Amino acid sequence: MNFFSSYQAVLDRLDTIDPLSYGKTRNFISGDVTYLSPYISRGVISAKQVLEMLMDKGYKISEMEKFIQQLAWREYFQRVWQHIGDDLFDDIRLRYTGIKHDDIPAALLNAATGIKAVDGAIATLYETGYMHNHTRMYTASIACNIGKAHWQMPSQWMYYHLLDGDLASNTCSWQWVAGTFSSKQYFCNQENINKYSGSVQNGTFLDKTYEELPLMDIPAALRPTTTLALKTTLPEKILPDTDPSLPLLLYTSYNLDPQWRKEIKANRVLLLEPSHFRQFPVSEKVIDFILHQARQIEGLQVFTGEVNEIPGLQQFPAIYSKEHPAFIHFPGIKEERDWIFPDIKGSFNSFFSFWKKCERDLRKREKLIPVSQRA
């Protein structure tokens, strides 16, 4: 899977989504998933745009519910971040059961856990920057619940390599698996992995019942651990050449939308703040992907620096960015992101209490569609 495609190719891919087949097969590693997350996560396209395109193609809301639910997970996690702020990056709730260390099992880094489906998925992650949702869950479960690592370092490792790295989805999902953002830890056994990955393996440390898994000692394969020191290599710092009579549009690694305010004349700057990438490092491949998307935005200049280092910042008639919890320190006007459910925000006990409200909202929308066009 090559994600370094043109904007038009992304739209073409969107056009091939089959939400019905998706609902039936998405849990299988070879299932009909969309591979859209790097573009949605980086703001190249929005989940709302995806949904609207499918509705324009004639898919009914009721037949796409499984797919819309998946899109809603990202919105939910982003709402959690907006609501609790950077407390997101610590245990959200009390840990369900004991951690033995704050490092990462070396076997994960080396794609050598002995669980073939997981090792293969880690190798693919290194090669492509993508991992299927189910193998992300398996990997996190092996790291935290079998290897008994605290979730923070392994989640930073995965985030580092993911083209779709989304701090809210990643952090909340790791905490969900580890039991600090859910009512219990998530365990997977070899039988489940074989079923969804198509592998045929037995005799591994996961070849156990669900009663046995939580009681196990750390298997020998996961005992050696490593401390990570992840670093980001950013492009050279070149000051942007700006016109102080025009507004300034601030793009970020989470807003790479080629359609954003396309119609206006403006200074367009992709800001890569070293402080952000020190806190949340990403791999060279991820930076390459961000720069690749940036090149598709006409007139966009890349600036490696902090926002207040942009020359003449006070002089622009207006400064615009898109609202995002990682960039609340930006000056100027923060525009709303394109949410599917713009009015559903605040605090929710769980995804499913959030989803209930989304469902109600979808029902209302469906009623607005003429009867002849409903499912």
Ligand X SMILES: Cc1cc2nc3c(=O)[nH]c(=O)nc-3n(C[C@H](O)[C@H](O)[C@H](O)COP(=O)(O)OP(=O)(O)OC[C@H]3O[C@@H](n4cnc5c(N)ncnc54)[C@H](O)[C@@H]3O)c2cc1C
Give every CB contact of residue 314 below 8 A, 6+ residues apart in sequence: none
Q: Least separation, in Å, of the C-beta of 97 and ligand X?
A: 18
Read off the tokens for 189: 């056994």
By CB under 6 A, residue 272 contacts ligand X: no
Least Å distance, CB 130 to ligand X, is 7
Residue from 227, 224, 299 nearest 263 by CA: 299
What are the backbone angles phi and psi of residue 149, rounded to the nearest 5°? -85, 150
- 153 part of the interface to ligand X, by CB under 6 A: no
Distance separating alpha carbons of residues 90 and 105, to the nearest angstrom = 20
- Is 78 among the residues that bind ligand X (CB under 6 A)? no
What is the closest distance, in whole angstroms, from the C-beta atom of residue 151 to ligand X in the complex? Answer: 9
Q: Which of 140, 188, 286, 300 binds ligand X (CB under 6 A)?
A: 140
Q: Which stretch binds ligand X (CB under 6 A): 167-175, 223-231, 299-307, 321-329?
A: 167-175
Tell the smallest beta-carbon distance from residue 170 to ligand X (Å): 3
The size of the interface with ligand X (CB under 6 A), counted in residues, is 29
Q: Residue 73 interacts with ligand X (CB under 6 A)?
A: yes
Q: How far is the CB of 72 from ligand X (least distance, A)?
A: 8
Contact between 33 and ligand X (CB under 6 A)?
yes
Instruction: By CB under 6 A, tell whether 154 contacts ligand X.
Output: no
Q: How far apart are CA 296 and CA 314, in angstroms?
A: 28
* Interacting residue with ligand X among 10, 29, 36, 300 (CB under 6 A): 36
Residues 107, 224: contact at Cβ < 8 Å? yes
User: Is residue 285 a contact residue for ligand X (CB under 6 A)?
Assistant: no
Q: Which two tokens stand for residue 288?
A: 């390459």
320 binds ligand X (CB under 6 A): no
Nearer to ligand X, 96 or 313 (CB): 96
170 binding ligand X? (CB under 6 A): yes
143 part of the interface to ligand X, by CB under 6 A? no
Q: Is 185 in the site for ligand X (CB under 6 A)?
A: no
- C-beta of 268 vs 322, nearer to ligand X: 322
Q: Does the footprint of ligand X cover residue 35 (CB under 6 A)?
A: yes
Residue with Cβ nearer ligand X (174 or 330):
174
Q: Is 173 in the site for ligand X (CB under 6 A)?
A: yes
Decide: is 42 part of the binding site for ligand X (CB under 6 A): no
Contact flag: residue 255 with ligand X (CB under 6 A): no
- Residue 245 CB, shortest distance to ligand X, in Å, is 38
Q: Which is nearer to ligand X, 68 or 266 (CB)?
A: 68
| Contact set with ligand X (CB under 6 A) | 26, 33-37, 40-41, 47, 70-71, 73-74, 132-133, 136-137, 140, 158-159, 162, 164-166, 169-170, 173-174, 177
